[in-house]
Amino acid sequence: MKKIEAIIRQSKFTEVKEALHKVDVNFFSYWDVTGLGNEKEAHVYRGVSYSTSDIQRRYLSIVVNDDFEKITINAILKSAATGDVGDGKIFVSDVTEVYRIRTGEKGGETLKKISK
C-alpha cells in the first residue's frame, strides 16, 4: 500500500477531487496549509506589496493499494498543473499496515468500498 501526499493550489482542489473520483479514489483527507516557497520576489497588487513565499495550499493525504499508485499520481498531476511555479509537490511513501476500526480487519481490503 502507498500513502500519497500532495500539496496543491487551493484553486485546483475541485478539479483534483473530481479527477480522483473519476479513477475511483473516493476516500482521502485534506486540510488547508500555509507553506514557504522557493520564490522570493514580492508582487504588487493594486498598490499593495505582498510576499509570495507564504503560500496558501491544500494538503491531501491518500492511502491506496499498490495497483492504484500510478493512477492516483497521474490524476493529480494532470488536474493540478497550471504550468506555473508553485503548482505543488507529490510525496509517496510505503504503508505497512491498515486497520478498519469498526471491524478490526486489516490489510488492503480495508481500502475498498464496503456495503452496509
Query: Model pTM?
Result: 0.83
The grid coordinates listed for 95 are 504503508
Residue 70 to residues 8, 41, 42: CA-CA distances in angstroms? 18, 35, 36
Share of the chain above pLDDT 90, in %: 68
Q: pLDDT tens digits, residue range 22-61?
A: 999 999 999 999 887 666 556 666 776 666 567 789 999 9
Q: Phi and psi of 31, rounded to 5°? A: -155, 160
CA distance 93 to 39: 27
Quick one: which of 87, 81, 95, 80 has its CA closest to 4? 95
Tens-digit pLDDT profile for residues 96-110: 999 999 999 999 888
Percent of the chain with pLDDT over 70: 84
Secondary structure class of 116 (helix, strand, coil) = coil
CATH number among 3.40.50.620, 3.40.600.10, 3.40.50.1370, 3.30.70.120, domain 2-111:
3.30.70.120
Q: Would you list the domain boundaries of the chain?
A: 2-111
* 17 three-state secondary structure: helix
